[in-house]
Structure 1
Amino acid sequence: MMIKLIKSMFQAITRPIQNLIIAYLRYLLGSPSLTDTKRDHHVTTLVIEHSGEFGRENVLYSATHAYVFNKLGIHSDSYHVGELTLADSYQGFELSWRIFYNRTIGRESFELRFDKRHKDLVYNSYLPYLESKAKEMMTIPEVHIYSHSFDTWETKPLEHHSTFETIAMKEELKRDLIHDLDMFVGGKDFYDRVGSLWTRSYLLHGPPGTGKTSLVVAMAKYLNFNVYDLQLSRPVESYFDPRKMLSGVMNNSILLVEDIDEGSTVFALSKLLRSLTLGTPCGEPCIVIFTTKNKDMIDPTLLSRISMEIYMGHCCFEGFKVLASNYLGLSHVDNDEPHRLYPDIKHLIDGQVLITPALVTVELMKSDDVDEVLEGLVKTLESLTSDKIDEDEGRHLPCI
């Protein structure tokens, strides 16, 4: 009963204070992710490493990473050797940072040194300040790719440029999805009241090149969520432990599981589903997105657990106008016809010519000359129409 009471009280505390309490407890217990060492009688050295318990990323590490590299004015991707130092000051006292690259784990560790007289001020004020400043800096979501070989998440910036404004999909479907996302992330009270996990799952299905990855990026940027890409399509050993893997997924995130129709994923996916049923590691909203090229190959058990299915079909005229706006600067307002070839393109695309957004993009990037590009697109669409007619006629040839 006492444990439940303590847990309930802890959950009632705001997230930043939770992080600070956890960090301070790690400091007191000498956790390897946040270790206090004394190199001389007057100086305290705080070591902040990437991983804490169960390989999960240390919350203070990610904040420190953003804060220190921003102060240095360099991008962390360009730093892979040696060590760097940074002098900092806070409320009239001096602190110093040392950043060193650990080749064994392939990432940085940080040392913070300060006069031991300021220990309480560092823990009670400076570190919360650092975390708040880091949140202001971390406006670009990150993508974390799971390494089955090293049993950890590898991190890099999410540099894909897709947003809901630039993605080629029907406006009605786009509005429905945005509304669904808004209802989900704002629904904590509902999930608490019904006693359900604060998790929502989506299935994106459709042929290659129809924008499934772009939609994941657009969702991540809209919510400012990081993406955790599990990549189960790669060979997975029988000892794959999804619960341990999920423990490394941070709050406010998207867990992406791609190409689940491939046979090699069946075993790992079944283990992952059981772990998701038991709960996610997040005390805040977590979204799970599955992608597939062939929905018919998916186990009905999985389909029954999907909150929302989204078919990413071939490019429609509405989607073409968005792409033409992105790459050619042409208007995509419904009542505008900014080019003489738009009626021809609309006739061809609405006439069931199957072309993916990816192929349309390739055509639009062939030249800076708008006339030349659209004339080339019309020829491509006409050739696809001709191929389709030949294919249809071939189906009706008499048997000989």
Structure 2
Amino acid sequence: MMIKLIKSMFQAITRPIQYLIISYLRYVSGSPSLTDTKHDHYVTTLVIEHSYKFLRENILYSSTHAYVFNKLGIHPVNYHVGELTLADSYQGIELSWRIFYNNKSIGRESFELKFDKRHKDLVYNSYLPYVESTAKEMTTIPEVHIYSHSFDTWETKPLEHHSTFETIAMKEELKRGLIHDLDMFVQRKDLYDRAGRPWTRSYLLYGPPGTGKTSLVVAMAKYLNFDVYDLQLSRAVECYFNPRKLLSGVMNNSILLVEDIDEGSTVLVLSKLLSSLTLGTPWGEARIVIFTTKNKDMIDPTLLSRMSMEIYMGHCCFEGFKVLASNYLGLSHVDNDEPHRLYRDIKRLIDGQVITPAQVTVELMESEDVDVVLEGLVTTLESLTSDKIDDDEDEEKHLACLRDL
């Protein structure tokens, strides 16, 4: 109970004090992580390692990792053994970093920071937050953080998905409208401040599987240079779900992605999350929250009323096909341009809403021969269109039978 009480109080404490509390807890437990070790009267040593226990410490570790390696001009994947050092300075004080790999006492990568103990307050209150903010600016490739309920932390990896607004299969009018909405959001911080409202924008992406919901999230993240925090609520254990603690581990200017909210997510879990967001849980500045669902009709109307914008990700249209054909076959996607004889047939068949962007992509990767690929796509579209007509006729017969009863 004491540990739970400490954790619940932890989120309301300022960041420098959080570092000190973590240091004390680590000191008591005998772990070297984020602990001051006084080698002599003048030098303080701070050791930072990856932790599955404290979200704040994990963020500091990630920031330190990016900051130190960027300063050294070395990519982490090219260095996995031994020891590296970095001399740094900040506001007139000298600091020294050492990087350890396979440290015998720790067992994994860690960072050691040494500085004059007289500057301890400056290091905790100013330098470490500076490392975090600088690391964010240094990161040119957004990252995706997937929440692990087992370890109660965010697991991080590069956002390597290729999608951008230029490559995504989406109606041009809808795409331009979304980009304009994002631009207005990031430029209106003063408006949110004056209104006393959290600087948050929420979107609902809905549509069948394979219609590009994930691709759109990636395109938005790359456009804004925001990290993505991917939360699978269907895996959450309702009685232990603590949204305020979870959100405290999310860095500034990020996208929180809550996927498939029509599958397994309880009303209580969503209610807790929405309440934390509405109350302005301090997990960042500009906050974008994206919910995805396959079936909008299954969503609680209260949740829908809180959406800033709803975006239907439907079947592939002809505009989307031309973008994909440009991506995979190198064909033109200029308006009114028909670079291939089969484009008219494809336009006629695809506008019947029978195929998803994912299915089109599979067809376009069948061969390097453009004729073979597009002929195969036409055949597939004809088959899907025929099936859809049969299904519509069966549905009409069924309704007619019901009316006759």
TM-score w.r.t. the length of structure 1 is 0.82
What corresponds to 2:376 in structure 1?
376
Q: Is the 8 A contact 2:142 2:228 kept in 1?
A: yes
Residues 1:231 and 2:232 aligned together: yes
Alignment of 1:108-123 (within 5 A): 108-113=109-114
Cα distance change on mapping 1:151 and 1:41 into 2, 3 Å = same
Following the alignment from structure 1 to structure 2, what is the Cα–Cα distance between the partners of residues 160 and 181? 20
**Aligned-partner SS, 2:234:** coil
Q: Is the 8 A contact 1:54 1:244 kept in 2?
A: no
Following the alignment from structure 1 to structure 2, what is the Cα–Cα distance between the partners of residues 245 and 93? 35
Following the alignment from structure 1 to structure 2, what is the Cα–Cα distance between the partners of residues 104 and 270? 44
Identify the range of structure 1 (27-36 vs 367-376) with the bigger mean alpha-carbon deviation.
Answer: 27-36
**Aligned-partner SS, 1:233:** helix
Q: Is the 8 A contact 2:205 2:293 kept in 1?
A: yes
Following the alignment from structure 1 to structure 2, what is the Cα–Cα distance between the partners of residues 237 and 105? 34
What corresponds to 1:306 in structure 2?
307
Identify the range of structure 1 (178-187 vs 277-286) with the bigger mean alpha-carbon deviation.
Answer: 277-286
Task: Please give the per-residue CA displacement for 1:193-221, whole angstroms capped at 9, x wherever unaligned.
Answer: 01111111100000000000111111111
**Aligned-partner SS, 1:215:** helix
Task: Please give the per-residue CA displacement for 1:156-206, whole angstroms capped at 9, x wherever unaligned.
Answer: 111111111111111111111111111111111000101111111100000
- Percent identity over the alignment is 77
For 1:355, the aligned partner's letter is I
What corresponds to 1:3 in structure 2?
none
Q: Is the 8 A contact 1:27 1:36 kept in 2?
A: no
The offset of 1:372, in angstroms, is 1.1
Task: Please give the per-residue CA displacement for 1:55-80, whole angstroms capped at 9, x wherever unaligned.
Answer: 2356543332113344373445x88x
Count how many residue pairs are aligned between Structure 1 and Structure 2.
Answer: 376
The offset of 1:223, in angstroms, is 0.8
Following the alignment from structure 1 to structure 2, what is the Cα–Cα distance between the partners of residues 104 and 97? 15
Cα distance change on mapping 1:326 and 1:266 into 2, 3 Å = same
Identify the range of structure 1 (373-382 vs 124-133) with the bigger mean alpha-carbon deviation.
Answer: 124-133
Q: Gapped runs of 5+ residues in structure 1? A: 1-20
What corresponds to 2:202 in structure 1?
201
What corresponds to 2:84 in structure 1?
86
The offset of 1:252, in angstroms, is 0.5
For 2:319, the aligned partner's letter is E
Alignment of 1:91-130 (within 5 A): 95-100=96-101, 108-113=109-114
**Aligned-partner SS, 2:338:** coil
Residues 1:362 and 2:362 aligned together: yes
Cα distance change on mapping 1:287 and 1:131 into 2, 3 Å = closer
Q: Is the 8 A contact 1:57 1:250 kept in 2?
A: no
The offset of 1:374, in angstroms, is 0.9
What corresponds to 2:4 in structure 1?
none
Cα distance change on mapping 1:170 and 1:59 into 2, 3 Å = same
Following the alignment from structure 2 to structure 1, what is the Cα–Cα distance between the partners of residues 193 and 367? 54
The offset of 1:28, in angstroms, is 10
Cα distance change on mapping 1:175 and 1:101 into 2, 3 Å = farther
Following the alignment from structure 2 to structure 1, what is the Cα–Cα distance between the partners of residues 121 and 54? 28
Alignment of 1:245-256 (within 5 A): 245-256=246-257
Following the alignment from structure 2 to structure 1, what is the Cα–Cα distance between the partners of residues 212 and 396? 33
What corresponds to 1:293 in structure 2?
294
TM-score w.r.t. the length of structure 2 is 0.81
Following the alignment from structure 1 to structure 2, what is the Cα–Cα distance between the partners of residues 257 and 57? 24
Cα distance change on mapping 1:289 and 1:25 into 2, 3 Å = closer
Identify the range of structure 1 (220-229 vs 87-96) with the bigger mean alpha-carbon deviation.
Answer: 87-96
Task: Please give the per-residue CA displacement for 1:132-167, whole angstroms capped at 9, x wherever unaligned.
Answer: 763453111111111112211111111111111111
The offset of 1:277, in angstroms, is 2.3
Following the alignment from structure 1 to structure 2, what is the Cα–Cα distance between the partners of residues 85 and 121? 27
Identify the range of structure 1 (337-346 vs 168-177) with the bigger mean alpha-carbon deviation.
Answer: 337-346
What corresponds to 1:5 in structure 2?
none
Alignment of 1:383-394 (within 5 A): 383-394=383-394
Identify the range of structure 1 (113-122 vs 60-69) with the bigger mean alpha-carbon deviation.
Answer: 113-122
RMSD over aligned Cα atoms? 3.6
The offset of 1:292, in angstroms, is 0.4
Alignment of 1:3-18 (within 5 A): none
Cα distance change on mapping 1:104 and 1:386 into 2, 3 Å = farther
Following the alignment from structure 1 to structure 2, what is the Cα–Cα distance between the partners of residues 121 and 271? 37
Cα distance change on mapping 1:123 and 1:251 into 2, 3 Å = closer
What corresponds to 2:140 in structure 1?
139
Alignment of 1:42-53 (within 5 A): 43-50=43-50
**Aligned-partner SS, 2:209:** coil
Task: Please give the per-residue CA displacement for 1:10-49, whole angstroms capped at 9, x wherever unaligned.
Answer: xxxxxxxxxxx95599469956574432234565422234
Identify the range of structure 1 (59-68 vs 163-172) with the bigger mean alpha-carbon deviation.
Answer: 59-68
What corresponds to 1:39 in structure 2?
39
Cα distance change on mapping 1:117 and 1:152 into 2, 3 Å = closer
What corresponds to 1:169 in structure 2?
170
Cα distance change on mapping 1:101 and 1:298 into 2, 3 Å = farther
Following the alignment from structure 2 to structure 1, what is the Cα–Cα distance between the partners of residues 132 and 48? 13
